[in-house]
Structure 1
Amino acid sequence: MSETVREKANQSLAMVEEVTAVVLPEPAAANAVVPLEKANKTQSAEIKRRMAEIDMEDTQSIVSFGSAAQAELQEISQAMLADVRNKDVGPAGDSLRSIVSTIRGFSVSELDVRRKRSWWEKLLGKAAPFAKFTAQFEKVQGQIDRITDNLLSHEHTLLKDIKSLDMLYEKTLQFYDELALYIAAGEAKLADLDATVIPAKEAEVSKAAEADQVMVAQELRDMRAARDDLERRVHDLKLTRQVTMQSLPSIRLVQENDKSLVTKINSTLVNTVPLWETQLAQAVTIQRSAEAANAVREANDLTNELLTSNAKNLRESNKMIRQEMERGVFDIEAVKQANADLIGTIEESLQIADEGKAKRAAAEKELQEMEANLRDTLAAAKAKKTGLGDTAGGAVPG
């Protein structure tokens, strides 16, 4: 809630307490029409003043008897009906429901910052959980500010309505009492007509001369007709008073509803909305703390991982370096292997040389045998040509 709205809500609290503290007077009982003979001095004077408004010879005065009070009552009743029709109770209730719907639409289950986005959320490009939560909070805050300002406007309207209804109730109650005076005046006039005026006119008819009887009898009939008109008028005033009495609790019922709604609105503005905002702010802070703790945990995990990895690498590197430092220029095994290979090479060379020498000696012997065979063959061929035969073939040239 903005500071301006909060200040207005606190200011309207005094107005709410003022209108709710008003106690309206109760109307008199339905049969509390005080007759003239039982009225006190003040009431008696008021009744007689209204009786004086009646002129039995003027039909208009009878028809309009009490009409001034009735006309004002009609204006007040019309104002009350217009007030009921034009009241913003519906929109105010809608605003209250809108606040509840806004808060209920806030999903706390999605506040886990460690929750991974599903493949569907990634596919749709949905924001990370905490980013989405922050956006929701900003949206809710804006809605709360707008709704609270709207509720405050409805509250001021209802406060004005309640004060207007207070005046309407008081005036209606005054007219209710005023009608009682008119009814008492009418009944007193009827009683006077029945007890005095009409009997006197009847006696006048019976005593009148025959030539004047028709005229006097017509006056009697007119008086009786006027008396009946007055009786009907008094009856109408009684009905009007009854309707007026019924309108009084109706006004109070509307007032009570307005007062209840104003109290609820003010309680929502002063108590509920700040509580909601506090809880939402705490939720944001908690999630930010969780996010910071997660970042710290990841940093610590990285540090521990680096320490472990570096210690392992140091051990392996130190081992390799120390091993290399302790090795000679040539490994003894390599020297032994090289020596063995060298000896084997020399032995193989000697063996090959011996084998070559033996093969050359054998080849030389075979060459000598081949050469001897060739000479023998050539000698045999020459003897056959000269005829010396085998003898010649046996000599070997020197």
Structure 2
Amino acid sequence: MTEDIRQKAAQTLAEVEKVTAVILPEPGTAIVPLAEAKGDHAAEITKRMGELDMGNTQSIISFGSRAQAELQVISQEMLAGVKNKDVGPAGDSLRGIVTTLRGFTVSELDVRRERSWWEKLLGRGAPFAKFVARFEEVQGQIDKITNELLGHEHTLLKDIKSLDVLYEKTLSFYDELALYIAAGEAKLAELDATDIPAKEAYVKAQPEDKQVMAAQELRDLRSARDDLERRVHDLKLTRQVTMQSLPSIRLVQENDKSLVTKINSTLVNTVPLWETQLAQAVTIQRSREAAEAIRGANDLTNELLTRNAENLQETNRVVRTEMERGVFDIEAVQKANATLIATINESLAIADEGKAKRAAAEVELQKMETELRDTLAAAKAKGTGTGYNAGTAVGG
């Protein structure tokens, strides 16, 4: 590894430590109702209650939609800019170094090894110059791959920082949903405790000829109240889905952090160690070639070569073992994914059930409306003979 790459790897180490030391805040779980909210929090809830107009259906349908629109933007950013790099180009570069080193064999240098039939046919031996050329080729490949790893490391660092921003946006949206839910529940409580009872009293106080219209207004208010309740329920479901996306962001980010740490450790520690071992192999062989005429020196050279090969094998085994270790259990990831899918399916089933109940209620409402219209018509016909009007029939 060149001195320039070594310095860049060392400089990046501080940035790696800074990024991996960032602790993301945990999302809150409880929704604070308006009655318990204080100060600015209560003001924010009241502000969102002001967005509701119970006489305007569109106001109820679009309640909280401004916050929900942000969820779509966040999801698009996640799909466009966030990928798990553990199986990407960075992993390929790490495997490239291992493949390069595996292609380098010290046995090619041994002048006493048994030559292949092809070498015997051509009268070729195992020249030292060929081994040195092979060593220089491997060194060049290592330098190229380590430079690529530096590029991957910087890309991962940018992704981790982007994930920090993405997490903060998602958490802010999660808190915003809590405000809308609290505002909706406060409005529902106000309707149940004040507005609807007041409208019921108003209907009873109306003359008989005006009670039908007043009753219709009461029915509309109750229908708007039910629409708002369903809207608040939808916001709660959205908040739950948003909460589940937060650990997903963390999972991807932790994968990237682990890979960045692994790359930096490879650049700062592992690659220099490999280079040292390769350099030792060349040095030992030169000593062995110079001491070939001396039996004792030759034996010593053989012993050093054996020990060096064992050390290289052991070091490679340890490094490979550490590199091939996984970050997370695939079973745990599968279980989390299955739980998430089950939650979504359950939410869809509840929504379908609610839709079916509303359809049934619509049929009943139409039936009641028909009965009321028939009764009014009968009362009007009867009123021709008795003097009673439609209002009297309804009031009776």
Shared fold per TM-score greater than 0.5: yes
Which residue pairs with 1:308 in the alignment? none
Distance 1:213 1:124 in 2: 115
Contact kept? 1:88, 1:154, Cα under 8 Å: no
Question: 1:172–1:244: 8 Å Cα contact kept in structure 2?
Answer: yes
**Partner of residue 164 from structure 2, selected from 153, 166, 177:** 166
Which digits, 9 at most, give the CA deviation of each residue in 1:157-213, with x for residues without a partner?
100000011111112111111111111010000111111111111221222233332
Query: What does 1:347-358 correspond to in 2, within 5 Å?
Result: none
The one of 181, 188, 191 equivalent to 1:183 is 181
Aligned to 1:236: 234
2:276 aligned partner: 278
What's the counterpart of residue 20 of structure 1? 20
Alignment check: 8 A CA contact 1:113 1:290 kept = no
Name the amino acid aligned to 2:66: A
Matching residue of 2:355: none
Structure 2 counterpart SS, 1:38: coil
**One-letter amino acid of the counterpart of residue 8, structure 1:** K
Letter in 1 for 2:10: N
Q: Which deviates further from its counterpart, 12-21 or 139-148?
A: 139-148
Which ranges in structure 1 are unaligned for 5 or more consecutive residues?
299-398
Does the CA-based 8 Å contact 1:117-1:129 persist in structure 2? no
Structure 2: give runs of 5+ residues left out of the alignment: 296-396
Structure 1 partner of 2:146: 148
Where 2:221 maps in the other structure, the secondary structure is: helix
Q: Name the aligned partner's letter for residue 186 of structure 1.
A: G
Query: Quick check: 2:52–2:63 contact (8 Å CA) kept in 1?
Result: yes
- Post-superposition offset of 1:89: 4.5
- After superposition, the C-alpha distances for 1:260-292 in whole angstroms (9 at most, x for unaligned) are 000000000111011111111111122122223
> Could you list the per-position Cα deviations for residues 233-268 of structure 1 after superposition, in whole angstroms to 9, with x for gaps in the alignment?
111110111011111111111111110000000000
1:90 pairs, out of 75, 88, 91, with: 88
Instruction: Name the amino acid aligned to 2:202.
Output: E
Q: Give a deviation string over 1:331-358, Cα, whole Å, max 9, x none.
A: xxxxxxxxxxxxxxxxxxxxxxxxxxxx
| Cα distance in 1 for residues equivalent to 2:124 and 2:151 | 38
Match of 2:375 in 1: none
Distance 2:81 2:243 in 1: 19
Consecutive aligned runs of 4 or more in structure 1 exceeding 6 Å deviation: none
Alpha-carbon shift at residue 123 of structure 1 (Å)? 3.1
Question: Against the structure 1 CA distance between its residues 127 and 65, is the aligned structure 2 distance closer, same or farther, given a 3 Å change threshold?
Answer: farther
CA change 1:125–1:200 in 2 (3 A) is farther
- Overall identity of the aligned pairs, in %: 78
1:106 lines up with 2:104 in the alignment: yes
Which is further off, 43-52 or 74-83?
Answer: 74-83
The 2-side partners of 1:86 and 1:19 are apart by: 17
* Number of the residue aligned with 1:65: 63
- Residue 219 of structure 2 aligns with which residue? 221
| Superposition deviation, residue 231 in structure 1 | 0.8
Contact 1:19 1:162 in 2 (8 A): yes
Alignment partner, residue 7 of structure 2: 7
CA RMSD of aligned residues (A): 2.1
Instruction: Give the deviation of 1:62 after TM superposition.
Output: 1.1
Q: Which aligned pairs between 1:357-368 and structure 2 lie closer than 5 A? A: none
Q: TM-score, normalised by structure 1?
A: 0.70
| Alpha carbons of structure 1 residues 192 and 126: separation in structure 2 relative to 1, 3 Å | farther
Q: CA deviation at 1:88?
A: 7.3
The structure number with the bigger radius of gyration is: 1
Aligned residues: 295
What's 2:155 paired with?
157
C-alpha displacement at 1:3, in angstroms? 2.3
Q: What TM-score comes out, normalization by structure 2 length?
A: 0.70
